[in-house]
Structure 1
Amino acid sequence: MSENKQPIRHYDIAPDSEYNMLMSVLRVSVSRHLMDEHYTVVEANPYYYELIGYPKDEYEALYHNQCSRYFKDNPEDWESIVNAVNEAVSAGYTSYETLARMHHKNGRLMWVKLVSVFTDETINGYPVAYTVMTDMTDYIEQEQALQRSNQKLLELAFVDPLTKGPNRSKFDLDAGGAILEGAPGAYVLVSMDIRKFKLINDLFGIEMGDKTLRHVYEVLEHHLQEGEFVTRVAADNFCLLLHNADKPMLVNRLEVMSRDINRFNYGIERKYFLSFVFGVCPVLDPNLPLTQLLDRANVALKSIKDTGDSRLFACRFYSDLDRLKLMREKEMENRMQDALNAGEFVVYLQPKLSLKDNTIAGAEALVRWQDPEQGLIPPDEFIPFFEKNRFIIDVDLYVFEQVCMLLRRWLDAGLTPVPISVNMSRAHLVHSNFLDTYKAICDENGVPPELLEIELTETLVFKNPDMLFQVIDQIHRRGYRCSMDDFGSGYSSLNLLKDLRMDTLKLDRAFFTSENADNPRERDVITSVIDLAEKLSMTTVAEGVETEAQAAFLKEARCDMIQGYVFSRPVPIPDFEALAFGRACGPAGH
């Protein structure tokens, strides 16, 4: 707009024309303006004043018909209008259109659409423009509300509320798209888990736990390259899609991420290092569903946990062996219930030989899977999987029932039964009243509970000792004996052992590393453990004894019983009966 070279006089507004009357009825503002620096109002219909809330006389008195004065408290929108006018004039247009905010007399800001047409008319040397203004506030606010609503929906659909990064759904879209666009083998999918993260929540509170997860996400995101993605899948589990590289480079990259996450420990006195495990699945087939790829990465991750690896950083790649294991586990899952119902699980007994008189003083019940097509499946192929999917509870109860039925049959045959021990998985401990089922089975068969011994593994005992004290007490109150299996396989605590009211201590085969039992230090340790058990009134059973030399040493060390291949491997029930009683005692059962 050109400079104003003459004083701006105040124009009298002409009477409403028919056009102005029509625009007022339609509630549209129509006004004439000089195209001077103030965009001075020459004439306006009544709705112009109604739109901004000022009566005509008040508007003229306050602003002298100068729009620049009216916009003095809203300079940004005035500048946008001026720029729209100048751009239209410079481009040779005969009109312009823009959207700006205007303030109502009551202070409310309105969104107003301005459409202006330039004319050939001049007043005092200034061109005249006609402007139509329409109140768009309701429409704009509805649009803004809709945008906010859409944004909120997008956040709910695609944003992790804790990390504020992409959630699993967004990750699936982005990572899945990148995989499909890339070549086979271009990416690896990584599943990452924080070990013992629950301790952070327990020790420092949920808020600190959430803060830690946000920190982990931010560090992982910082390490991403173009075309890579990360998300928090659930709780303390994260998933990354990374560009593939040779294994050492990938492992080093993941280890650097782990170290960087733990960098918060630098310079502080009380350190708390986070430990991470990574399962890596190379994306060799881009057409595989992302869920399936993640399952494979989780299999690799889980295998680290199963090995007990406790390093601050551990990584494993998914392999064909893992794939075969998955297929095998799925096959077992599909068959296990039908197999149990069909009696395919059979009880074997491994004799316990008394070293005092060389008689069979007991037995351990072990389960085998007699598959009609595959033959005898050893327990190490199915027990770990059943412990993972909790089907072990059904199998344990089945074995216990078969043992009770066997003891009943021996009693009915007039034999003096030997006590039989049965293994009990930690999965039972989830239910506080789990021994009620054991009691019901025992009572149904009319078996004296003292003929039954429940074996708890060392790892189970030392993982939650307070709970185990209560469990052992319950086992004794029901009349059963209780033994600690695999003692010495882990990090045994002699201090804790004094508080455990076990009846039997079973020495793990890990004690017996020398076939001839001629390692002095080994002999001293074994003798000390047996002496300690004797002082604590515990019966001792040595497991995994394989040589006569080992058996002779254990007898010398006053071990009560041995169990191992030196005497007998686990055998079917009829074979055990032949060893213990000189004859089979009727139907072997399952």
Structure 2
Amino acid sequence: MAADEQLHNAASKGDDDFRIVTDLLNLSVSKHKIDEHFTLVWANPYFYKFIGFPKDEYEALFHNLPDLYYASNPEDLAVITEHVLYALEHDTGGYECVTRLAHKSGKLMWVKFSATFLDEYVDGYQLSYTVMTDVTELMEAQVELEAQKLALEEANADLERLAFVDSVTEGYSQTRFNIEAARRIACAGAGAFQLVSLDMKKFKLLNDIQGIEMGNEVLRHVHAMLKKHLRAGELLARISADTFNLLLEAADEAETIERLTGMVADINRFNEGRTHPYYLTMSMGIYRIDDPALPITSIRDRSNVARNASKAIATAQHFTYVFYNEIDRQKLLREKDMENRMHLALGDDEFVIYLQPKQRLEDGEIGGAEALVRWIDPVRGLVPPDEFVPFFERNGFIIEVDLYVFDRVCAMLRRWLDEGRPVVPISVNMSWAHLRNNDFLEPYDRIRAQYDVPAELLEIELTETMVFANPELLIGVIDDIHRHGYRCSLDDFGSGYSSLNALKDIDVDVLKLDRAFFSDEDADNEREWNVISSVIDLAKKLELETVAEGIESIKQSAMLKEIACDMLQGYVFSRPIPIEEFEALLSSGKEE
């Protein structure tokens, strides 16, 4: 049979088999010889529409030779060739692949090729049917999805580093130390470890004289020297400022002091040969962990109490130390005293409300405030919140304190409304202890109804620790808060390792960025601000307001405004102040 007749018969058979289907589906279908050119034998009208070339023009320019058509992008033809050869070698009966194809307009399309080998031959070459499908939008969407996934992974990695790596020493952060220490203590059992809290004396003076960078160099040096003395299974971290924690193997007092003496000696070895030495001195508290069930925060509290007591000891050594024992009893006595007096103190209004203003960065005005509680003891004076709040959380009295604060805030808002004063939303902290009761919002509603205060003026702050400890429980809690009309904020976001993915399920109104994000007061750490900016961008996409906490410098404030953070809260704008001072500040701002 002549070649022309063979071609005609092949084309006719193709028309008979595929014309109806391809016309209905607008599919590009073509028949090719499996030769070195993939010579086109027949194609339906949609083939030419697909590539943009009319049939006559295609034949005149490319002579039905697809390899000539692909001359400008041979790497894409190579993808097809590779799949054809593989199919022939493994007798698969056809192939599928995705590669690019140039349209007449010059646009490169992503095309899926689906080919079936036929039991037909022309000029001794087997024939195949090929269907082409434009998958450009799908490929572009996949590329965009991969880019978004990569960006999210990078943001999470940056957050993980921010949470787990100390920015100064490049060693463990407090968060990572807490996790690792708790695990090792629990696995080892009672009496296996002791926690040493180490604080550098007069370090602030060194910072003031030599500058922050020199201070950081000293901190890195101290960290490196302490790390040299660690044994397998022991841990070290800078906890805050110039305070370090060491989890060491438990030993008797003499051996422990011998080890600590060696550490301090190595820290001060840089003075050897100096005419005017400068010795770094330290105070230390040591707590032998006899109860591995204690939370790591309680273990640290005990070593901190001992360390603070050691500061008063006079010594010719370069460090002072106290082992936690009698100090423990004294602290328990103070807590017992607080427990004996707390109900009476609440009834006598010894707990006082302070307000810390939140500044709107858009116009510099007050956009709200956080209500904070202070205990003014008539005998002891101001009792630090970090002394009574953790204790009240442990014994459950924090519930009564929180409701007292909420009552005073509602009374204050009612008075502002009645007197025609400027009014801004006030946020109150809610302890996890409330969540033990399924009807935890009932007393809040009763108080609010008593004062007839609009719920939208009240915001309930939940801490990051509460949320990420049990996100399933908190999803329902937040829904309840919203059903009752209150706003809800996530406080301390970033103080631990926060997963950005979890935010899609935590339907809060406000995201409060913890001071851990803002370690650089000069706002010069580009990587740190890239992370902050990414979190704020994500919050905006989730329609969350953002509040930056612990802001202490004008540079930080300016940078936050530049990246469109909604509000800040910190000493750069105002410390926590009594209600009367806040009212005066709010009124003066509104009058301006």
Question: TM-score when scaled to structure 1?
Answer: 0.48
| Structure with greater helix share of residues | 2
Q: Which has the higher contact order (CA 8 A, sep 6+)?
A: 2
Q: Which of 1 and 2 has greater Rg?
A: 1
TM-score norm. by structure 2 comes to 0.48
